[in-house]
């Protein structure tokens, strides 16, 4: 293999093979797992995605994910392994290098697209894992919970599986434009966020709002509504501050609590891609 052939190729646009292009998302990743069978760091990422998908298909919450990014030195690793296997000038080494390096840009794209797959296929926007739910269950304790904008209801399902009392609500307006909203994993009451607070404020001790729509000020309206109540509620918010979720009004005016409870809720809520969402306790 000729060392001069080593290039930085992750950003190079390449044509996908017809077989992979025609397959679905998970099928693509399985094909890449076979192709990169000798590279444990790549197989680890793909295996985590495939296992998460398997659990969700089975109606179970997935496990926590590692950071779904290819190692920065993956090309060096591939080059060194092929160079150790084939002598300089060996066409087999050159062909294998070209094959693997040409596949890297799309592999990188597919791994980074797992959140998109979750949104499109399962209607899961925040990544709700079993370890995170265990921490949330501990935080909730014996208090009844109101979930706003629940979507398909993954958080509520986890709480109900733990025998917690949950009022699960969503306006379901988004379901009219998105197929995923038609496949809830638990029962969801058709109720907008403000009406839900009005209805259940005296029956709950915790309100949860996850991934409020980007740039819509409904999250700010919810916060003002909660602040106006006579009763004291813990308000749990999952989102990316000044990022992919919620409104500027909300993030600018919310008061964030930093205590042992926020540490608990974020302990198993890792950021696995370029979206840096967190769990907040808000007043």
Domain ranges in the chain are: 3-121, 125-282
Task: Assess if CATH 3.40.50.300 describes domain 125-282.
Answer: no
Instruction: Give the pLDDT confidence of 168-203 residue by residue, as tens digits.
Output: 999 987 666 665 566 899 999 999 999 999 999 999
Q: Encoding tokens for residue 47?
A: 């295996």
Q: What is the pLDDT of residues 37-67, one digit of tens each?
A: 999 999 999 999 999 999 999 999 999 999 9
Cα separation, 141 vs 150, whole angstroms: 20
Q: What is the mean pLDDT of the chain?
A: 90
Pairwise CA distance, residues 208 & 217, whole Å: 16
Say if residue 260's pLDDT is above 70: yes
Select from 36, 38, 33 the least CA-distant residue to 50: 33
Predicted confidence (pLDDT) per residue in 193-249, tens digit: 999 999 999 999 999 999 999 999 999 999 999 999 998 999 999 999 999 999 999
Q: What is the pTM of this model?
A: 0.88
């Amino acid at each position: 293999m000729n060392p001069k052939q080593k290039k930085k190729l992750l950003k190079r646009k390449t044509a996908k093979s017809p077989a992979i292009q025609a397959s679905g998302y998970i099928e693509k990743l399985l094909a890449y797992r076979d192709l990169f069978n000798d590279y444990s760091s790549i197989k680890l990422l793909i295996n985590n995605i495939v296992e998460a998908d398997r659990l969700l298909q089975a109606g179970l919450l997935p496990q926590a994910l590692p950071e779904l990014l290819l190692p920065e030195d993956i090309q060096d690793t591939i080059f060194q392994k092929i160079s150790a296997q084939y002598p300089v000038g060996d066409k087999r080494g050159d062909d294998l290098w070209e094959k693997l390096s040409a596949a890297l840009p799309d592999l990188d794209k597919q791994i980074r697209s797992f959140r998109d797959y979750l949104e499109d296929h399962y209607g899961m926007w925040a990544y709700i894992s079993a370890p995170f739910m265990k921490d949330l269950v501990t935080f909730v304790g014996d208090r009844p919970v109101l979930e706003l904008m629940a979507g398909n209801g993954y958080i509520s399902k986890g709480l109900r599986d733990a025998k917690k009392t949950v009022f699960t609500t969503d306006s379901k307006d988004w379901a009219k434009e998105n197929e995923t909203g038609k496949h809830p994993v638990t029962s969801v009451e058709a109720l907008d966020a403000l009406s839900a607070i009005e209805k259940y404020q005296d029956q709950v001790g915790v309100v949860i709002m996850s991934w409020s729509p980007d740039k819509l000020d409904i999250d700010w309206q919810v916060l003002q509504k909660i602040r106006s109540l006579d009763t004291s509620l813990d308000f749990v918010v999952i989102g990316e501050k000044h990022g992919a979720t919620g409104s500027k009004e909300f993030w600018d005016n919310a008061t964030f609590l930093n205590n042992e409870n926020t540490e608990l809720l974020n302990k198993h809520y890792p950021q696995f891609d370029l979206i840096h969402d967190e769990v907040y306790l808000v007043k």
